Amino acid sequence: MTNEQNAGRRGSSFGVLHFAFCTLHFLFFAACASAQAQTSQPDLVAVGAEVKGIMDTDASIQAVVVRGGEDVGRKAIDAAKAALRDVESKMNSHDVDSELTSLNAGPVGVDIPLSAETLDVLRAARSYHKLTGGVFDVTCRPLLMLWWQAGRDGQLPTDEQIAKAKAKVGWEHFRLNEKSAARLADGATIDLGGIAKKHGIDRATEAMAKLGVAGGLVNVGGDVRCFGRRVGGGKWRVGVKNPFAKDEQFLGVIETAGGAVCTSGNYERFVTIEGKRYSHIVDPRTGRTADSVPSVTVVGPDAVSAGVWATALCVLGPAGLEKIPPEPKLEALLVTGEPDRFKLHMTRGMPELLKDLLPQAASPGRTTSPEK
C-alpha cells in the first residue's frame, strides 16, 4: 500500500438515492507504513483492509497504532466493518431483509417496527430536508427509479410520468412514530443511501476510536472520514479529482487535521439518453436531473453533514453556499462551467484547506472569490 490510494470507486447502480445518490470523485492520501513514514515517525504504523461490495460500493479502512499494537488495529478494523455491515443490513433499500425494505413494502397506514437507529436516521433525513429547502429528500425514490428505468430504456421520461412520480414524493406520505413508521400513500418509498452511507462511516470511525487507536480513516465509495494521528505526521491529505479530466488528475488537495470530506457530482455517474448525458442526482422539486454542477466537495466534522450538503449543493448550485448553516462548521467547493473554462465557488474558509491547486483552476477569470 502506498501513500496515495484511490478513493473514487463507486457502486454501479444508477437508481439508488445514495449508495449512488452522492457521487464521490477524489483520491485520498492515507496514513500508510511507507519507508519514509516509518523513518519520520517510527512509533506509529498503519493497519489496513479493503472491503468489497459494501453499501453497493467498496471501502478502505485504516487504523493507525503504536508499533506492536497491530492486533488492536485489526480489532478496530473489524469493529468498523461490523458497524458498516450493521447499517447496511438495516437501511439498504435493495436488501429484501432490511428494515427499510419492510417499510417500503408495508401496507399503507400500517406501522412497521423499526430500530431506534433507523428511526434516528429517518428523523435526521427529515430535518435535512427542511434545512436544505427540500432538495435533500430521501422520499424521492419514485423519481430515482423513474430515471433509472429511463436510462435502461434509452428514452426520456414524459412530463406525465415525472408528475406521477412526483406525486408520490414527500414527507407528508410518511409517519414516524417512537418505535415504528408507516407509509401513508400507495407508491411512496424511501431510499436512505444519501445519508445511511455517511451514517455508517461515522459509526465506523467512532467504533475504531473507542478501541483506542491513535488514528484512523474510513473511506466508503469515496466518502472519507479520518481522525487522530497519521503515519508520517502532519495533516491528512485528500485529493479532489478534476471533474473534467479523463485521468486521475487532481484539481487540488484538501488538508485536514480530521473530519470528513465528501464529494458529489455529475461527471462520472450519469446515464446517456438519446445521445445526451444526464446526472444520477435528481432535483425533487422539478423531478428532473441536476446537471449544472459537475463537482461539489464539502469538508465537515462528520460524514453525515458533509455528505448531505455535498448532495444538496449539486442541486442548489453556487447560490446554495449562502444556505449552509453556521453550525456545524462546513466548508464547500463547487466546480461549474466547461472543461476549457470553469470556475471555482468556495466558502470563505475553503482556500485555507485547499492546496496544490491546478494552475488553470487558479488563473484569472476561472476562480470566483470566496462567497461565505
Does residue 70 carry a pLDDT above 70? Answer: yes
- Between 249 and 345, name the one with better pLDDT: 345
- Between 115 and 8, name the one with better pLDDT: 115
Mean pLDDT (the chain) is 85
Measured distance CA(97)–CA(52) in Å, rounded: 20
Mean pLDDT of 239-249: 80
Measured distance CA(279)–CA(293) in Å, rounded: 10
87-100 pLDDT tens trace:
999 999 989 999 99
Does residue 2 carry a pLDDT above 50? Answer: no
Does residue 12 carry a pLDDT above 50? Answer: no
Domain ranges of the chain: 99-191
- Between 152 and 285, name the one with better pLDDT: 285
Please tell me the pTM assigned to this model: 0.86
pLDDT at 269: 61
Q: 3-state SS string over the chain?
A: CCCCEECCCCCCCCCCCCCCCCCCCEEEECCCCCHHHHHHCCCEEEEEEEEEEECCEEEEEEEEEECCCHHHHHHHHHHHHHHHHHHHHHHCCCCCCCHHHHHHHCCCCCCEECCHHHHHHHHHHHHHHHHCCCCCCCCCHHHHHHHHHHHHHCCCCCHHHHHHHHCCCCHHHEEECCCEEEECCCCCCCCCHHHHHHHHHHHHHHHHHHCCCCEEEEEECCEEEEEECCCCCCCEEEEEECCCCCCCCEEEEEEECCEEEEEEECCCCEEEECCEEEECCEECCCCEECCCCCEEEEEECCHHHHHHHHHHHHHHCHHHHHHCCCCCCCEEEEEEEECCEEEEEECCCHHHHEECCCHHHHCCCCECCCCC
pLDDT at 360: 64
22-35 pLDDT tens trace:
333 334 444 343 33
Does residue 205 carry a pLDDT above 80? Answer: yes
pLDDT at 41: 52
Counting beta carbons within 10 angstroms of the beta carbon of residue 291, is it exposed (0 to 12), middle (13 to 18) or buried (19 or more)? middle
Mean pLDDT of 203-209: 98
Does residue 15 carry a pLDDT above 60? Answer: no
pLDDT at 17: 33
Measured distance CA(117)–CA(175) in Å, rounded: 16
Mean pLDDT of 133-150: 94
- Between 193 and 141, name the one with better pLDDT: 141
Smallest CA-to-CA distance from 76 within 242, 237, 227, 287 is with: 227
Does residue 20 carry a pLDDT above 60? Answer: no
Query: Lowest mean pLDDT: which of 168-172, 203-207, 354-358, 361-365?
Result: 361-365
pLDDT at 246: 75
Find where cell 481522525 sits: 227
Does residue 296 carry a pLDDT above 50? Answer: yes
Measured distance CA(103)–CA(110) in Å, rounded: 9
- Between 23 and 150, name the one with better pLDDT: 150
Query: Lowest mean pLDDT: which of 56-60, 74-78, 262-266?
Result: 262-266
43-55 pLDDT tens trace:
999 999 999 999 8
Quick one: cell of 293? 454542477
Are 18 and 204 in contact by the 8 Å Cβ rule? The answer is no
Confidence class for position 59, pLDDT limits 50, 70, 90? very high
pLDDT at 151: 87
Mean pLDDT of 285-310: 94
pLDDT at 19: 29
Smallest CA-to-CA distance from 220 within 296, 306, 325 is with: 306
CB atoms within 10 A of CB 277: 12
Does residue 117 carry a pLDDT above 70? Answer: yes
Does residue 9 carry a pLDDT above 60? Answer: no
Smallest CA-to-CA distance from 83 within 195, 218, 192, 175 is with: 218
Counting beta carbons within 10 angstroms of the beta carbon of residue 12, is it exposed (0 to 12), middle (13 to 18) or buried (19 or more)? exposed
Measured distance CA(358)–CA(77) in Å, rounded: 35
pLDDT at 42: 56
pLDDT at 218: 97
pLDDT at 36: 36
pLDDT at 3: 34
pLDDT at 357: 84
Confidence class for position 292, pLDDT limits 50, 70, 90? confident
Topology of domain 99-191 in CATH is T-fold (1.10.3980)
Does residue 364 carry a pLDDT above 70? Answer: no
Counting beta carbons within 10 angstroms of the beta carbon of residue 111, is it exposed (0 to 12), middle (13 to 18) or buried (19 or more)? middle
What are the CA-CA distances from residue 289 to residues 162, 277, 338 (Å)? 11, 10, 18
Quick one: cell of 154? 434509452
